[in-house]
Structure 1
Amino acid sequence: MKININLLPKIIILFICFSACNQNYEESTGYIMTVNGKISPEQMGISLPHEHITTDFIGAEKVKQPQYQQDSAVEIILPHLNKLLENGVNTLFECTPNYIGRDVKLLQRLSELSQINIITNTGYYSAVDKKFLPAHAYTETKEEISAHWEKEWMEGINGTGIKPGFIKLGVGKGKLDSIEVKLLEAAILLSKKSGLTIAMHTGDGEAAKDEQRILEANGLESGQMIWVHAQNGTDEERELLAKKGVWVSLDGISEKRIEEYLQMVSYLKEKNLLHQLLISHDDGWSVENNDGEISLKLFGNGNSKPYSTIFEIFVERLTFAGFTRDEITQIMVENPKKAYVIDPIGN
């Protein structure tokens, strides 16, 4: 039988969906906290572990700019989430932190309309010269900062009742400075209480190694950390931290960088470390203010369509490179649920 090459990615994804539903993987304990409440890890299916919906880059201490109309945002974004569902994706982790455009009501509405599980976060983002840090992050102790995040976890975000499903931090390059260390230690305090995973936007491998060292020094398992943007490190650094149990997340897969990401994934396969790998696009929309007129603009990160390159191009390239259905299922189904599961023992 001759197979239409244009249908191959969809056929592969169907096989992955079938595998996720029918193979006898060890069932996970714990749960995932979505914007609509708890689900079991087995309900996640194919997952994108690092994406965005809307992000506002104006800065934490700027005058709050006018908000986009939610109906307009839904009209722009919903078709792409519906397309995700057609591609077999059930779950999207939305990684926009507080003070940089986190909009949990929009996320909840989009989740309800699309039937995609969406997970939001708590935490602060200190990369980009601290532009997105609130002033109190400098003056409060790690315990006080952690208490803000714990309140969101226990009571919901800004009175909505919507709870975060992970902690999101962001740091720059090199060893962490005193503010970055304080924020990470605040996150560790909450992770120990809640079981929430810490997803670390990280500038380079040196910073990632320092993060893992701080986790270890504070008695938190390395598996509670995701090295976000691990493509900013080297193969050797990714190998080192994956062997320590850190989740290595290659975010930013785009139409223009397919071969580069294929090489990084292949290296981890050669080292028998696919069980520590996550992949995602890091797609989303930025809030634009043109003389008071607010609009949403797709991130200019190399993808002409959001959330699609992995399913329309990259999965096919993995298959042609010799990756098996089970290996792709592990990367796209099993690993995200293990990385983000909330252990009830931690509550």
Structure 2
Amino acid sequence: MSFIRTFFGDIKPEQLGFTYSHEHIVCRPPYWVEKGENDLLLDNKEASLKDVLDFKKHGGQTIVDATAVDYGRDVEVVAEIGKEAGIFIIGTAGFNKSFLWDAKIEEKVRKVIGPFDTYTQWIDHSSINELTEFVVKEIEEGLEGTSYKGGQVKFGTGYNRITPLEEKTIRAVARAHHETKAPVHSHTEVGTMALEQIEILKSEGVDLSYVSFGHMDRNPDPYYHEQIAKTGAFLCFDGIAKIKYAPESTRIHCILELVRKGYEGQILVSGDTARKTYYKHYDDGLGLEYIIAKWVPRFIDEANKAGFDGEKLVYLFFVENPAKCFAFKK
């Protein structure tokens, strides 16, 4: 029997509906607060809610909020937005990548993780088993002491490297996955180090079909994507609309290359919309409606011209594949 854990209770996979697989709805990452990077602070509930309502208006039903404890999440406010918009929210337990752990911990988080001044100190001074217990608690009891339970576990690594502390969190998340059966999500900086992460996960006995690798379109290398897909893992193309990194034609090409090779059942699509300038109701950006309202029609057109059934692929990427990827299989 499988189920998906949302902020509003466990649901059947078929209830999930049209899903964005990697977004950030409200967050104030301490690292960026210290740096004064206002664009990276999503701190206006009403603005975020309006964008979520745009997504809902076009048929969206679920958003995976990939904000971990060290990225300044606001669990209560995100839950309120989900309730007011009438969509499902899947929350995230676990960790991001190491440079964010250097930021000073806010008081509300300190109550959860102990008397450490920075995230680096917390990870360094905690054993793998202690970190595992923390992640398990966030899945089975609630995120940051709330009643809202995480629906996936997450780890991350930096650009072209895995630090000892990052490996520590990968192992902790892997062990929390074994205990809870929660799906696993990986942050790959600029799409790098997925294969090295996979070796660590294998050493922990993780079935890769439970794992999704984020930011795959930041490294638009079809050969690399195929090596990941061969493991059975999901690949998340979550940089839609970020033309500064690559044109949409590049992303669509990489996705269709995987489809040609038979991996259409392992593809997820989202926007990782984590800046004010990406949001319509913060700063006149393209907003959460862009993928469902603008990108999807373009993808269908391009896929059809390439000889595929574009509508069928969209249903896979946004409905069927998320229903498989985010399921607890007990």
TM-score when normalising by structure 2: 0.84
Distance in structure 2 (CA, Å) of the matches to 1:35 and 1:307 = 20
Judge conservation of contact 1:212–1:246 (CA < 8 Å) in 2.
no
Judge conservation of contact 2:156–2:170 (CA < 8 Å) in 1.
no
Judge conservation of contact 1:230–1:251 (CA < 8 Å) in 2.
yes
1:125 aligns with 2:96: yes
1:244 aligns with 2:257: no
1:112 aligns with 2:102: no
How big is each residue's C-alpha offset from its partner over 1:196-236, in whole Å with a ceiling of 9 and x where there is no partner?
11111102555100111111111110112211101133211
Structure 2 counterpart of 1:269, which letter? V
Distance in structure 1 (CA, Å) of the matches to 2:101 and 2:218 = 19
CA spacing shift, 1:206–1:111, aligned 2, 3 Å? closer
Match of 2:165 in 1: 179
CA spacing shift, 1:186–1:158, aligned 2, 3 Å? same
1:276 aligns with 2:266: yes
Selected match of 1:319 from 296, 300, 305 = 300
Judge conservation of contact 2:58–2:292 (CA < 8 Å) in 1.
yes
For 1:87-98, list aligned pairs within 5 A.
87-98=58-69
Larger % of helix: which? 2
Judge conservation of contact 2:279–2:288 (CA < 8 Å) in 1.
no
Q: How many correspondences in the alignment?
A: 298
Selected match of 1:148 from 134, 137, 149 = 134
Distance in structure 1 (CA, Å) of the matches to 2:91 and 2:100 = 24
Q: Compare 142-151 and 306-315 and name the one that shifted more.
A: 306-315
Deviation for aligned residue 1:128: 3.6
Q: Compare 31-40 and 255-264 and name the one that shifted more.
A: 255-264
Selected match of 2:48 from 69, 72, 77 = 77
How big is each residue's C-alpha offset from its partner over 1:157-194, in whole Å with a ceiling of 9 and x where there is no partner?
23321110001222112242211111000001100011
TM-score when normalising by structure 1: 0.80
Distance in structure 2 (CA, Å) of the matches to 1:330 and 1:80 = 24
Match of 2:112 in 1: none
1:213 aligns with 2:162: no
1:48 aligns with 2:29: no
Unaligned ranges ≥5, structure 2: 35-41, 104-118
For 1:25-44, list aligned pairs within 5 A.
29-44=1-16
CA spacing shift, 1:328–1:179, aligned 2, 3 Å? same
Q: Compare 127-136 and 139-148 and name the one that shifted more.
A: 127-136
SS in 1 for 2:288: coil
Judge conservation of contact 2:18–2:319 (CA < 8 Å) in 1.
yes
